[in-house]
Chains A and B, each alone.
Chain A
Amino acid sequence: MSLLAAPKPGRAYWGTQALVWTLYGVFNLIIFRSFVPKTAATPHWVFDVLSFLVAATALSASHVLRRLIWRGTWLTRPPLALLGRLLLANALLAVGCVVVIGLVSALVLPSPAVGRGPQGWSAQLGYCLNLGILLSLWAAAYVGWHYLQRSRQAEIEKWRLTAAVREAELNTLRAQLNPHFLFNGLNNIRGLVSEDPARARQALAHLADLLRYVMQHSATPLVTLGQELEIVADYLALEALQLEDRLHYSLDVDPAARGVQLPPLTVQLLVENAIKHGVAIRPAGGCIALTAQLDAAGQLCLIVRSPGRYHPVAAATSSGLGLRGLRERLAQAFGPAATFELANDPAAADTVQAVLRLPTVGTPAAQPTLLSHFVLSPLPQ
């Protein structure tokens, strides 16, 4: 529910209005009865009617004020602008009320009633002032109530948002740590322990490095390509335990490109996707080729090739999630300067290539990401 939408006046509103203005009417009535002498020429019932006429008119004016407040979205304006509008509106409404009351009493009530009270322009001004103050009190109560509600809503929203951010952080972590990969990896290492303890020890170190990287960098905006490639190597070593001779891979990286900055787990995601869709599903396996070069303009061009055919429609439904996250992270770090494309390789049959182009010169300062403030909390080492 939007905070700006005008609420339909509910039973609580009408109930409160009726109560407040009835009390006001009764209060007027008591005042009149106490202070107008019994001997006055005007019958008492005239004052009784007058009391409730004033209350009813003020009720209508307050309702008009309420509509003005919502129509003009006054509650969203700065305090002074709100105050100015309220005072002006109240002044006009007070004058309107006095005119209405004057007209109605002149038409309906016996003329001596009008004649008895204080008359003249100064008296009318007094009535206006009186009603203006009354309406201002009403406005203060009404606006104050809504401000209170609003601040409580904002508080709740704030906590909800914090919770959502924490959950999003957890989800990224979970998404980056593919559970299938993790548990198959653990199982394979267990198998290695009895078969080849030396390789098992290596594999554990690879897994540890990979887990540490994921935990440390899930909230870091940028890492260097060199750092990223180290864990890609860890990742490939672990995938090789699962896929063995079904997986072949080659990495061809220009040493000059290793300093380029990019969001963490970008290359890892491309390699993971390549293995998932190009190698793991094929009983005979396949080959992943990664190349990274700087072009003449100083742009990083990173390509991951894998077997298969790319179907944009099928991809949109299944694997789209990971790649959409990748595009979002790239856009956040580089804006339109970074591009990512997934397509069939025009030069080779049965090959999909993922092409990532990143600017290197004047890499923009890391943009604060939604999660960046969580970096402040040190991770257990």
Chain B
Amino acid sequence: MRVLLVDDSRLARAELRRLLEAFPDIVVAGEARNADEARAQLAAQPIDLLLLDIHMPGETGFELLASLEAAPPVVFTTAYDAHALRAFEVNALDYLLKPVQESRLAGALEKVRLQKREGAGAAEPPRPAAMPAPLTEQDQVFVKDGERCWFVRLADVRLFEINGSYTQLYFDQHRPLVPRTLAQLEARLDPKVFFRANRQQIINLNFVAGVEPWFSHSLRLTLRGGTEVVEISRQQSVRFRELLSL
């Protein structure tokens, strides 16, 4: 498992490195002192786990995650932010309090391994060489809405909707905003699962519960788990029919 250490204190990173030596399956792939360095490292190499400090100069750990298209699995390391981490609603992996106890670290790593094994059931699509891989259902995004935070698997998002220059995600009963346009998201989402229904909305095809014909060759969909009704534009209806008949 390739781990990236993100902490502004060199001594703290060195200490984590030493602690991780006890785990033969862990490779420390790199270190970063702040959010910018972390982003560069994440772009440069595949990372399986982020050990992330929350308080850093410039952007905080939360801000770093919110800026990422897809957040890798994260274990937070912090001196005194346990209260901030309790804000997590869904799917937070774990957090470690510094100075870190070996047994707590072992527990956190075991959790990550477990989750990776569960996620591995869904086969990864072969990546085209030149393009960055599209975001699959198994990818998760980090969403911060005021005080609340979520790691959301894209598979759990049923609807993406334009909201100004932001996009609103619909999952469970939550609908937080992410700071990206719908067009940006559409370019990165797996088109086999995520379908542009109209100018305002992208739907997750796995959530379609019912289809009915609507005016002038358009279609109207209902989605599982929500009350939203989505209308597929006439132009897109043709593509939708094609997709379903495949």
What chain A residues lie within 8 Å of B58 (beta carbons)? 281-283
- For residue A191, CB closer than 8 A to chain B, the reply is yes
Question: Across the interface, do A187 and B9 meet the contact criterion of CB distance under 8 Å?
Answer: yes
Interface centre among A184, A192, A241, A280 (most CB of B within 10 A): A184
- With contact pairs A183-B98, A184-B79 given, residues A192 and B11 touching in the complex (Cβ less than 8 Å): yes
How long is the Cα–Cα vector from A341 to B36 in the complex, in angstroms?
35
Partner of A188, one of B11, B34, B80: B11
Tally of contacts, chain A with chain B, CB under 8 A: 62
How long is the Cα–Cα vector from A243 to B33 in the complex, in angstroms?
11
- For residue A186, CB closer than 8 A to chain B, the reply is yes
Question: Across the interface, do B9 and A242 meet the contact criterion of CB distance under 8 Å?
Answer: yes
State which of B12-20, B130-138, B177-185, B188-196 sits at the interface with chain A. B12-20
Chain A, Cβ-Cβ closest to B77: A187
How long is the Cα–Cα vector from A152 to B142 in the complex, in angstroms?
56
Chain A positions 143 through 185: 1 when the CB is less than 8 Å from some CB of chain B, otherwise 0: 0000000000000000000000000000000000001101110
Interface centre among A179, A188, A282, A285 (most CB of B within 10 A): A188
Chain A positions 91 through 128: 1 when the CB is less than 8 Å from some CB of chain B, otherwise 0: 00000000000000000000000000000000000000
- For residue A244, CB closer than 8 A to chain B, the reply is yes
Question: Across the interface, do B57 and A187 meet the contact criterion of CB distance under 8 Å?
Answer: no
What chain A residues lie within 8 Å of B100 (beta carbons)? 187
How long is the Cα–Cα vector from A241 to B9 in the complex, in angstroms?
8
The distance from the CB of B189 to the nearest CB of chain A, in whole angstroms, is 33
Question: Across the interface, do A183 and B9 meet the contact criterion of CB distance under 8 Å?
Answer: no
- For residue A2, CB closer than 8 A to chain B, the reply is no
- With contact pairs A184-B98, A281-B57, A283-B57 given, residues A195 and B80 touching in the complex (Cβ less than 8 Å): no
Question: Across the interface, do B79 and A180 meet the contact criterion of CB distance under 8 Å?
Answer: yes
The distance from the CB of A196 to the nearest CB of chain B, in whole angstroms, is 10
Question: Across the interface, do B9 and A184 meet the contact criterion of CB distance under 8 Å?
Answer: yes
Question: Across the interface, do A191 and B14 meet the contact criterion of CB distance under 8 Å?
Answer: yes
How long is the Cα–Cα vector from A223 to B15 in the complex, in angstroms?
37
Question: Across the interface, do B15 and A187 meet the contact criterion of CB distance under 8 Å?
Answer: yes
Q: Which residues of B in the span 96-133 have a Cβ within 8 Å of any Cβ on A?
A: 97-100
- For residue A67, CB closer than 8 A to chain B, the reply is no
The distance from the CB of A9 to the nearest CB of chain B, in whole angstroms, is 48
What chain B residues lie within 8 Å of A190 (beta carbons)? 15, 99
Question: Across the interface, do A283 and B33 meet the contact criterion of CB distance under 8 Å?
Answer: yes
Can you give 7 A-B contacts (C-beta < 8 A)?
A187-B11, A187-B100, A190-B15, A191-B14, A195-B11, A243-B9, A244-B9
Interface residues of B (CB under 8 A from A): 8-12, 14-15, 18, 33-34, 36, 55, 57-58, 79-80, 97-100
